[in-house]
A and B are shown apart, each in its own frame.
Chain A
Protein backbone atom coordinates (compact mmCIF):
# COMPACT_ATOMS: atom_id res chain seq x y z
CA UNK A 1 0.00 0.00 0.00
CA UNK A 2 1.24 3.49 -0.75
CA UNK A 3 -0.10 6.89 0.14
CA UNK A 4 0.67 9.89 -2.05
CA UNK A 5 1.70 12.77 0.16
CA UNK A 6 3.85 15.74 -0.77
CA UNK A 7 4.42 17.77 2.34
CA UNK A 8 2.47 20.02 4.64
CA UNK A 9 0.78 22.17 1.97
CA UNK A 10 -0.68 19.09 0.31
CA UNK A 11 -1.75 17.78 3.72
CA UNK A 12 -3.47 21.07 4.58
CA UNK A 13 -5.24 21.16 1.22
CA UNK A 14 -6.43 17.58 1.63
CA UNK A 15 -7.80 18.41 5.07
CA UNK A 16 -9.73 21.46 3.82
CA UNK A 17 -11.04 19.71 0.70
CA UNK A 18 -11.91 16.65 2.75
CA UNK A 19 -13.92 18.69 5.23
CA UNK A 20 -15.66 20.71 2.49
CA UNK A 21 -18.76 18.43 2.33
CA UNK A 22 -19.37 19.03 6.03
CA UNK A 23 -18.49 22.74 5.89
CA UNK A 24 -20.90 23.25 2.98
CA UNK A 25 -23.81 21.67 4.84
CA UNK A 26 -22.98 23.24 8.20
CA UNK A 27 -25.04 26.41 7.67
CA UNK A 28 -26.34 26.84 11.21
CA UNK A 29 -25.13 26.15 14.72
CA UNK A 30 -27.52 23.21 15.12
CA UNK A 31 -26.45 21.49 11.88
CA UNK A 32 -22.81 22.28 12.73
CA UNK A 33 -23.19 20.65 16.15
CA UNK A 34 -24.82 17.56 14.66
CA UNK A 35 -22.18 17.15 11.97
CA UNK A 36 -19.27 18.10 14.24
CA UNK A 37 -20.19 15.63 16.97
CA UNK A 38 -21.01 12.87 14.46
CA UNK A 39 -17.70 13.48 12.67
CA UNK A 40 -15.81 13.33 15.97
CA UNK A 41 -17.43 9.98 16.85
CA UNK A 42 -16.86 8.50 13.38
CA UNK A 43 -13.29 9.80 12.99
CA UNK A 44 -12.27 8.70 16.49
CA UNK A 45 -13.72 5.23 15.91
CA UNK A 46 -11.87 4.84 12.60
CA UNK A 47 -8.57 6.18 13.99
CA UNK A 48 -8.79 4.05 17.15
CA UNK A 49 -9.58 0.86 15.21
CA UNK A 50 -6.72 1.32 12.74
CA UNK A 51 -4.40 1.99 15.68
CA UNK A 52 -5.52 -0.91 17.86
CA UNK A 53 -5.90 -3.66 15.26
CA UNK A 54 -2.85 -6.00 15.09
CA UNK A 55 -0.33 -5.34 12.32
CA UNK A 56 -0.63 -8.94 11.11
CA UNK A 57 -4.12 -8.14 9.80
CA UNK A 58 -2.53 -6.27 6.88
CA UNK A 59 -3.52 -2.94 5.27
CA UNK A 60 -6.57 -4.15 3.32
CA UNK A 61 -8.21 -5.90 6.26
CA UNK A 62 -7.49 -3.00 8.65
CA UNK A 63 -9.02 -0.58 6.12
CA UNK A 64 -12.13 -2.74 5.76
CA UNK A 65 -12.66 -3.27 9.49
CA UNK A 66 -12.00 0.40 10.36
CA UNK A 67 -14.38 1.56 7.63
CA UNK A 68 -17.06 -0.83 8.86
CA UNK A 69 -16.54 0.43 12.42
CA UNK A 70 -16.86 4.02 11.19
CA UNK A 71 -20.12 3.13 9.42
CA UNK A 72 -21.49 1.55 12.61
CA UNK A 73 -20.49 4.70 14.55
CA UNK A 74 -22.28 6.90 11.98
CA UNK A 75 -25.39 4.70 12.19
CA UNK A 76 -25.44 4.89 15.98
CA UNK A 77 -24.97 8.68 15.83
CA UNK A 78 -27.90 8.90 13.41
CA UNK A 79 -30.03 6.71 15.67
CA UNK A 80 -29.31 8.90 18.69
CA UNK A 81 -30.11 12.04 16.66
CA UNK A 82 -33.36 10.46 15.47
CA UNK A 83 -34.39 9.81 19.06
CA UNK A 84 -33.44 13.33 20.23
CA UNK A 85 -34.74 15.39 17.29
CA UNK A 86 -36.56 13.55 14.46
CA UNK A 87 -36.97 16.78 12.47
CA UNK A 88 -33.23 17.48 12.51
CA UNK A 89 -32.59 13.84 11.55
CA UNK A 90 -34.78 14.21 8.46
CA UNK A 91 -32.89 17.30 7.32
CA UNK A 92 -29.39 16.14 8.21
CA UNK A 93 -29.28 12.36 7.80
CA UNK A 94 -27.80 12.23 4.30
CA UNK A 95 -24.88 14.52 5.27
CA UNK A 96 -24.45 12.68 8.55
CA UNK A 97 -24.08 9.45 6.57
CA UNK A 98 -21.48 11.18 4.41
CA UNK A 99 -19.11 11.61 7.37
CA UNK A 100 -18.10 7.94 6.96
CA UNK A 101 -16.43 8.52 3.60
CA UNK A 102 -14.99 11.99 4.10
CA UNK A 103 -11.30 12.05 3.23
CA UNK A 104 -10.04 12.63 6.83
CA UNK A 105 -12.01 9.57 8.02
CA UNK A 106 -10.81 7.42 5.12
CA UNK A 107 -7.22 8.46 5.86
CA UNK A 108 -7.76 7.62 9.54
CA UNK A 109 -8.82 4.11 8.47
CA UNK A 110 -5.43 3.39 6.91
CA UNK A 111 -2.97 1.20 8.77
CA UNK A 112 -0.01 3.17 10.20
CA UNK A 113 2.97 1.76 8.28
CA UNK A 114 5.81 2.43 10.70
CA UNK A 115 6.29 2.69 14.45
CA UNK A 116 6.74 6.47 14.11
CA UNK A 117 3.47 6.72 12.19
CA UNK A 118 1.78 4.53 14.77
CA UNK A 119 2.89 6.89 17.53
CA UNK A 120 1.53 9.80 15.51
CA UNK A 121 -1.86 8.10 15.31
CA UNK A 122 -2.73 9.57 18.71
CA UNK A 123 -2.29 12.96 17.05
CA UNK A 124 -4.69 11.77 14.35
CA UNK A 125 -7.39 11.19 16.96
CA UNK A 126 -6.79 14.66 18.43
CA UNK A 127 -6.87 16.14 14.93
CA UNK A 128 -10.45 14.86 14.61
CA UNK A 129 -11.38 17.03 17.57
CA UNK A 130 -9.93 20.06 15.79
CA UNK A 131 -11.85 19.25 12.60
CA UNK A 132 -15.08 18.96 14.61
CA UNK A 133 -14.52 22.37 16.20
CA UNK A 134 -13.96 23.85 12.72
CA UNK A 135 -17.25 22.37 11.46
CA UNK A 136 -19.19 23.71 14.46
CA UNK A 137 -17.56 27.15 14.18
CA UNK A 138 -18.32 27.26 10.45
CA UNK A 139 -21.99 26.61 11.20
CA UNK A 140 -22.11 29.35 13.83
CA UNK A 141 -20.33 31.92 11.64
CA UNK A 142 -22.48 31.17 8.58
CA UNK A 143 -25.69 31.39 10.60
CA UNK A 144 -24.58 34.71 12.08
CA UNK A 145 -23.67 36.09 8.64
CA UNK A 146 -26.93 34.85 7.10
CA UNK A 147 -29.41 35.74 9.82
CA UNK A 148 -27.60 38.20 12.07
CA UNK A 149 -28.06 35.96 15.08
CA UNK A 150 -27.20 32.46 16.33
CA UNK A 151 -29.61 29.93 17.78
CA UNK A 152 -29.27 26.28 18.75
CA UNK A 153 -32.96 25.77 17.98
CA UNK A 154 -32.99 23.69 14.80
CA UNK A 155 -36.55 24.77 13.94
CA UNK A 156 -35.59 28.43 13.51
CA UNK A 157 -32.40 27.61 11.50
CA UNK A 158 -31.21 29.87 8.74
CA UNK A 159 -34.72 30.27 7.28
CA UNK A 160 -35.06 33.77 8.69
CA UNK A 161 -32.01 34.86 6.72
CA UNK A 162 -31.86 38.61 6.39
CA UNK A 163 -28.28 39.86 6.74
CA UNK A 164 -26.31 38.02 4.05
CA UNK A 165 -28.50 35.13 2.81
CA UNK A 166 -25.86 33.74 0.44
CA UNK A 167 -23.76 32.74 3.48
CA UNK A 168 -26.27 29.96 4.17
CA UNK A 169 -26.07 28.62 0.59
CA UNK A 170 -23.41 26.16 -0.69
CA UNK A 171 -22.00 28.88 -2.98
CA UNK A 172 -21.56 31.16 0.02
CA UNK A 173 -19.81 28.36 1.90
CA UNK A 174 -17.24 27.91 -0.87
CA UNK A 175 -16.58 31.66 -1.06
CA UNK A 176 -16.25 31.98 2.71
CA UNK A 177 -13.86 28.99 2.86
CA UNK A 178 -11.81 30.58 0.06
CA UNK A 179 -11.67 33.95 1.84
CA UNK A 180 -10.77 32.28 5.14
CA UNK A 181 -8.00 30.28 3.42
CA UNK A 182 -6.66 33.46 1.79
CA UNK A 183 -6.70 35.31 5.13
CA UNK A 184 -4.90 32.38 6.78
CA UNK A 185 -2.32 32.29 4.01
CA UNK A 186 -1.73 36.05 4.27
CA UNK A 187 -1.42 35.83 8.06
CA UNK A 188 1.11 32.98 7.75
CA UNK A 189 3.13 34.95 5.19
CA UNK A 190 3.09 38.02 7.46
CA UNK A 191 4.18 35.92 10.45
CA UNK A 192 7.08 34.45 8.45
CA UNK A 193 8.06 37.94 7.31
CA UNK A 194 8.13 39.29 10.86
CA UNK A 195 10.33 36.37 11.98
CA UNK A 196 13.05 37.49 9.54
Chain B
Protein backbone atom coordinates (compact mmCIF):
# COMPACT_ATOMS: atom_id res chain seq x y z
CA UNK B 1 0.00 0.00 0.00
CA UNK B 2 1.29 3.47 -0.87
CA UNK B 3 1.50 6.30 1.66
CA UNK B 4 -1.35 8.14 -0.13
CA UNK B 5 -3.46 4.98 -0.09
CA UNK B 6 -2.74 4.57 3.61
CA UNK B 7 -3.82 8.12 4.45
CA UNK B 8 -6.88 7.73 2.21
CA UNK B 9 -7.85 4.49 3.92
CA UNK B 10 -7.60 5.81 7.47
CA UNK B 11 -9.36 9.08 6.57
CA UNK B 12 -12.38 7.33 5.01
CA UNK B 13 -13.28 3.63 5.07
CA UNK B 14 -10.86 2.71 7.86
CA UNK B 15 -11.66 5.72 10.01
CA UNK B 16 -11.68 4.59 13.64
CA UNK B 17 -14.64 6.82 14.47
CA UNK B 18 -16.91 5.29 11.83
CA UNK B 19 -15.59 1.74 11.63
CA UNK B 20 -14.96 1.20 15.33
CA UNK B 21 -17.69 3.41 16.78
CA UNK B 22 -15.31 5.55 18.85
CA UNK B 23 -17.68 8.52 19.15
CA UNK B 24 -16.39 11.23 21.50
CA UNK B 25 -18.76 11.85 24.40
CA UNK B 26 -18.65 15.62 24.07
CA UNK B 27 -17.69 18.38 21.67
CA UNK B 28 -14.33 19.97 22.21
CA UNK B 29 -11.99 19.25 19.33
CA UNK B 30 -12.00 22.96 18.38
CA UNK B 31 -10.46 23.87 21.72
CA UNK B 32 -7.58 21.43 21.20
CA UNK B 33 -4.29 23.24 20.61
CA UNK B 34 -1.94 22.36 17.76
CA UNK B 35 0.72 20.93 20.13
CA UNK B 36 -1.85 18.64 21.75
CA UNK B 37 -3.04 17.46 18.31
CA UNK B 38 0.56 16.79 17.29
CA UNK B 39 1.24 14.98 20.58
CA UNK B 40 -1.84 12.82 20.01
CA UNK B 41 -0.67 11.93 16.48
CA UNK B 42 2.86 11.12 17.68
CA UNK B 43 1.48 8.98 20.53
CA UNK B 44 -0.77 7.10 18.08
CA UNK B 45 2.06 6.66 15.62
CA UNK B 46 4.57 5.37 18.17
CA UNK B 47 1.94 3.27 19.97
CA UNK B 48 0.79 1.62 16.73
CA UNK B 49 4.37 0.86 15.69
CA UNK B 50 5.49 -0.56 19.03
CA UNK B 51 2.31 -2.64 19.31
CA UNK B 52 2.74 -3.89 15.74
CA UNK B 53 6.38 -4.88 16.30
CA UNK B 54 5.60 -6.66 19.56
CA UNK B 55 2.65 -8.46 17.97
CA UNK B 56 4.69 -9.54 14.93
CA UNK B 57 8.04 -10.43 16.50
CA UNK B 58 7.14 -11.50 20.05
CA UNK B 59 3.54 -12.70 20.31
CA UNK B 60 2.94 -14.33 16.91
CA UNK B 61 6.06 -16.55 16.83
CA UNK B 62 5.12 -17.95 20.25
CA UNK B 63 1.42 -18.33 19.41
CA UNK B 64 0.50 -15.81 22.13
CA UNK B 65 -1.65 -13.45 20.03
CA UNK B 66 -4.43 -13.73 22.63
CA UNK B 67 -2.22 -11.93 25.14
CA UNK B 68 -1.95 -8.76 23.08
CA UNK B 69 -4.24 -6.82 25.50
CA UNK B 70 -1.87 -7.49 28.40
CA UNK B 71 1.11 -6.21 26.41
CA UNK B 72 -0.82 -3.18 25.13
CA UNK B 73 -2.01 -2.24 28.61
CA UNK B 74 1.51 -2.62 30.00
CA UNK B 75 2.77 -0.32 27.22
CA UNK B 76 -0.03 2.15 27.96
CA UNK B 77 0.68 2.12 31.71
CA UNK B 78 4.41 2.41 31.02
CA UNK B 79 3.81 5.45 28.81
CA UNK B 80 1.60 6.99 31.52
CA UNK B 81 4.26 6.40 34.19
CA UNK B 82 6.96 7.87 31.92
CA UNK B 83 4.83 10.97 31.30
CA UNK B 84 4.28 11.44 35.04
CA UNK B 85 7.98 10.93 35.74
CA UNK B 86 8.91 13.54 33.11
CA UNK B 87 6.31 15.86 34.64
CA UNK B 88 7.81 15.32 38.09
CA UNK B 89 11.36 16.01 36.83
CA UNK B 90 10.34 19.18 34.99
CA UNK B 91 8.20 20.35 37.91
CA UNK B 92 4.95 20.14 35.91
CA UNK B 93 3.47 17.10 37.62
CA UNK B 94 -0.33 17.27 37.81
CA UNK B 95 -2.57 15.23 40.09
CA UNK B 96 -4.23 12.28 38.35
CA UNK B 97 -7.37 13.72 36.72
CA UNK B 98 -9.66 11.44 34.78
CA UNK B 99 -12.58 12.81 32.80
CA UNK B 100 -14.56 11.65 29.74
CA UNK B 101 -11.97 13.17 27.40
CA UNK B 102 -9.10 11.24 29.02
CA UNK B 103 -11.04 7.97 28.88
CA UNK B 104 -11.92 8.54 25.21
CA UNK B 105 -8.32 9.42 24.27
CA UNK B 106 -7.10 6.26 26.00
CA UNK B 107 -9.66 4.17 24.09
CA UNK B 108 -8.73 5.76 20.74
CA UNK B 109 -4.98 5.28 21.29
CA UNK B 110 -5.56 1.66 22.29
CA UNK B 111 -7.80 1.04 19.23
CA UNK B 112 -5.27 2.62 16.88
CA UNK B 113 -2.51 0.47 18.39
CA UNK B 114 -4.59 -2.65 17.67
CA UNK B 115 -5.70 -1.53 14.21
CA UNK B 116 -2.59 0.11 12.77
CA UNK B 117 -0.14 -2.23 14.46
CA UNK B 118 -1.75 -5.43 13.24
CA UNK B 119 -2.24 -4.48 9.59
CA UNK B 120 1.17 -3.55 8.24
CA UNK B 121 4.56 -5.20 7.92
CA UNK B 122 6.78 -2.16 7.30
CA UNK B 123 7.82 0.10 10.19
CA UNK B 124 7.21 3.19 8.04
CA UNK B 125 3.71 2.02 7.20
CA UNK B 126 3.05 1.36 10.89
CA UNK B 127 4.27 4.86 11.81
CA UNK B 128 2.26 6.43 8.99
CA UNK B 129 -0.77 4.27 9.73
CA UNK B 130 -0.88 5.36 13.38
CA UNK B 131 -0.51 9.04 12.51
CA UNK B 132 -3.07 8.79 9.67
CA UNK B 133 -5.57 6.99 11.89
CA UNK B 134 -5.21 9.70 14.58
CA UNK B 135 -5.57 12.50 12.03
CA UNK B 136 -8.57 10.77 10.41
CA UNK B 137 -10.24 10.46 13.81
CA UNK B 138 -9.61 14.12 14.71
CA UNK B 139 -10.87 15.30 11.30
CA UNK B 140 -14.02 13.17 11.51
CA UNK B 141 -14.66 14.44 15.06
CA UNK B 142 -14.35 18.04 13.82
CA UNK B 143 -16.78 17.36 10.94
CA UNK B 144 -19.25 15.80 13.34
CA UNK B 145 -19.00 18.79 15.71
CA UNK B 146 -19.65 21.16 12.80
CA UNK B 147 -22.70 19.15 11.73
CA UNK B 148 -24.05 19.18 15.28
CA UNK B 149 -23.55 22.95 15.51
CA UNK B 150 -25.47 23.39 12.26
CA UNK B 151 -28.24 21.08 13.48
CA UNK B 152 -28.62 23.24 16.59
CA UNK B 153 -30.10 25.89 14.29
CA UNK B 154 -32.67 23.47 12.81
CA UNK B 155 -36.06 22.53 14.30
CA UNK B 156 -35.09 18.95 15.16
CA UNK B 157 -38.02 17.03 16.77
CA UNK B 158 -37.62 16.86 20.56
CA UNK B 159 -36.99 13.09 20.88
CA UNK B 160 -34.16 13.30 18.34
CA UNK B 161 -32.31 16.20 19.98
CA UNK B 162 -28.93 15.46 21.56
CA UNK B 163 -27.69 11.88 21.57
CA UNK B 164 -30.08 10.38 18.95
CA UNK B 165 -29.36 12.96 16.23
CA UNK B 166 -25.64 12.70 16.95
CA UNK B 167 -25.72 8.95 16.34
CA UNK B 168 -27.88 9.28 13.21
CA UNK B 169 -25.56 11.99 11.83
CA UNK B 170 -22.57 9.73 12.52
CA UNK B 171 -24.32 6.90 10.67
CA UNK B 172 -24.99 9.05 7.62
CA UNK B 173 -21.38 10.29 7.64
CA UNK B 174 -20.15 6.70 7.91
CA UNK B 175 -22.30 5.79 4.92
CA UNK B 176 -20.88 8.66 2.86
CA UNK B 177 -17.27 7.95 3.88
CA UNK B 178 -17.64 4.24 3.11
CA UNK B 179 -19.15 5.07 -0.29
CA UNK B 180 -16.26 7.38 -1.24
CA UNK B 181 -13.78 4.82 0.03
CA UNK B 182 -15.37 2.00 -1.98
CA UNK B 183 -15.43 4.14 -5.12
CA UNK B 184 -11.86 5.45 -5.08
CA UNK B 185 -9.79 3.29 -2.74
CA UNK B 186 -8.51 0.94 -5.48
CA UNK B 187 -7.09 3.91 -7.41
CA UNK B 188 -5.11 5.17 -4.43
CA UNK B 189 -4.17 1.95 -2.68
CA UNK B 190 -1.31 1.31 -5.12
**A and B: interacting chains:** yes
Sorting the interface of chain B by its residue count into under 10, 10 to 19, 20 to 34 or 35 or more gives: 35 or more
Using known A-B contacts A68-B70, A178-B164, determine if residue A20 contacts B21 with beta carbons closer than 8 Å.
yes
Using known A-B contacts A106-B106, A182-B159, determine if residue A177 contacts B99 with beta carbons closer than 8 Å.
no
Stretch of A48-56, A91-99, A117-125, A140-148 on the interface side? A91-99
Q: For the complex formed, measure the closest distance between the CB of B47 and the CB atoms of chain A, giving whole angstroms.
A: 12
CA distance A186 to B104 in the complex (A): 28
Total number of A-B contacts with CB less than 8 angstroms? 166
* A21: interface (CB < 8 Å): yes
Residues of B within 8 Å of A95, CB to CB, are 20
The answer to whether B115 and A94 have CB atoms under 8 Å apart is: yes
Residues of A within 8 Å of B171, CB to CB, are 171-175, 178
Task: Identify whether the interface residues of A are mostly helix, strand, loop, or mixed.
Answer: helix
The answer to whether B164 and A185 have CB atoms under 8 Å apart is: yes
The answer to whether B97 and A1 have CB atoms under 8 Å apart is: yes
Sorting the interface of chain A by its residue count into under 10, 10 to 19, 20 to 34 or 35 or more gives: 35 or more
Partner of B103, one of A22, A106, A169, A189: A106
Binding site for A on B (CB under 8 A): 18-25, 65-70, 72-74, 76-77, 95-100, 103-104, 106-107, 110-111, 114-115, 118, 158-160, 162-168, 170-172, 174-175, 178
Binding site for B on A (CB under 8 A): 1-4, 12-14, 16-18, 20-25, 59-60, 63-64, 67-68, 70-72, 74-76, 78-79, 82, 89, 93-95, 97-98, 100-103, 106-107, 110, 166, 169-175, 177-179, 181-183, 185-186, 189
